[in-house]
Chains A and B, each alone.
Chain A
Amino acid sequence: MGRVSGMSDLVITLYTIVVLSLVVNIGISLYGVFTRPSLVKKFICLTIFSDTLNSFAIAIGFRRVSDTYPSIAVLSSVPEELSELATFAETAVDPVPQALVLTAIVIGLAVYMFLVGLIVMYYRHYKTTHVRVVEGGSVG
């Protein structure tokens, strides 16, 4: 992880832990999607997976500002002169990942809504959400 002077080792360590736990979360949720036999649990793991990826994308847009926290990508007042815009661009976080994540959340919601509908119909048809039953194997 590239170190930048002006930020203490503690903060860098904490930030590394956050990124690492997001990566571990990706693995755990994928394990759930692959091995849990219930469609509902698979679905929950899938939503955790996508939420983790979205948080990860937001974390990539984070930036370090020398002595303070970065501001959000919103101007708090109508700028009166050009220099205010330069200051804003020097302290605000990256807005591009946020815009992409907004799109990803909406499309994810659309897909999940359809998936939930399918799972409900699956349950009404087979009286279970277990995938193996349909494959012809035994439950368990």
Chain B
Amino acid sequence: MNLREAVIAVSIALMIALLAYTIGAGGLGPIAPSRLRDLAVSYLINTYNPWNITKSALSLEAVTAIVWDYRGLDTFFETSVLFVSIVGVALVFRGYREKLGLGGKGLSEIVKTSTKVLTPLILIAGISIAIHGHLTPGGGFQGGSFIAVLLVLMSVVFSLDFVIGSGLTSSKLLMLRSIGLVGVLSTSVALVVLGIVLGTHAYIFQNIAREGSPLSMPTWLLDRPTGGTLLFFNLFEALAVAAGLSLAFLVLSLRESEVEEALGESEWYE
């Protein structure tokens, strides 16, 4: 350990001591308070409140209500950041192409058969997590990441050739990702368009009727609450995240020689 590392270690130890002292002295408020902040109480009371419908999201889960209703615009831009990052990964690995016939037989027949049984189960569990996002813990992102495991599992068990050969190419995945984002966008402006058609007032990202704009998304499907826009947001977000993460895994798992060959020498070392 040289002098530079020692200085870093001492200053970090000092930071830990100060941070611990600050927290211990109540700098972040009491840790584990018995009383919640007023904002949290307001969210908890209003998340499913048919007696005060102009402040409610009509979602049984408070976290999804905050994420996609009260702070919907935040979450839209968060999804956009994820989209931009996937575009960035595709840009860093620009010029690659999926080549077949590079060999790779995958794992043994036993593993392959059990994976074939597991594949639909993973898909259905992921979709279920996503579309129950407003009823149980979970949501679009969680369900989407659950489904994205499928591509990793398949590329390990069946080989990358099988995945690309079965039609999961990066351009198709990017298209699915874009469909998801367009779905999120169109859900967020659906009530505005309806308001223009009907001649009434409506807001972007409006879910349930608010003061001065009486339009609402459908809140019940058969005998279950749908949370209005939340169901659609979770569904499209799951599609977008599953396709986006799969795309990133696919691009990152391409072989080095293929990328070098695809890029050529021209702009490789600039």
Contacts and interface: CB of A to CB of B under 8 A. Distances in A.
Are the chains A and B members of one assembly? yes
A123 to B, nearest CB: 9
A99 B84 contact: no
B44 A74 contact: no
Interface stretch (B88-96, B112-120, B185-193, B206-214): B88-96
Interface stretch (B7-15, B98-106, B159-167, B228-236): B7-15
Interface residues of B, number: 68
A38 interface: no
B171 to A, nearest CB: 18
Contacts of B63: 73-74, 95, 98-99, 102
Which 8 residue pairs are nearest across A and B when measured between Cβ atoms?
Answer: A2-B30, A110-B85, A95-B62, A99-B66, A73-B62, A27-B16, A89-B44, A94-B40
B19 A23 contact: yes
B16 to A, nearest CB: 4
B82 A106 contact: yes
A16 B36 CA distance: 19
B262 interface: no
Contacts of B44: 73, 85, 88-89, 92, 95
A70 to B, nearest CB: 9
Interface string A3-30: 0101000000001100110011011001
Contacts of A86: 45
Contact of B9 (A31, A65, A66): A31
A44 interface: no
Given A73-B61, A95-B63, A110-B84, A1 B26 contact: yes
A75 B47 contact: yes
B92 A99 contact: no
Contacts of A66: 34
Interface residues of A, number: 59
Contacts of A113: 85-86, 89, 245, 248
A103 B75 contact: yes
Contacts of B23: 1, 19, 23
B146 interface: no
B48 A78 contact: yes
B121 interface: no
A70 B61 CA distance: 15
Interface in B224-270: 225, 245, 248, 251-252, 256, 259-260, 268-269
Contacts of B71: 99
Interface in B145-200: none
B81 interface: yes
Interface in B54-96: 60-63, 66-67, 71, 74-75, 78-79, 81-82, 84-86, 88-89, 92-93
A109 interface: yes
Contact of B66 (A20, A79, A95, A109): A95
A62 interface: yes
Q: From B49, B61, B62, name the one whose CB has the most chain A CB atoms within 10 angstroms.
A: B62
A89 B45 contact: yes
B92 A110 contact: no
A22 B92 CA distance: 35
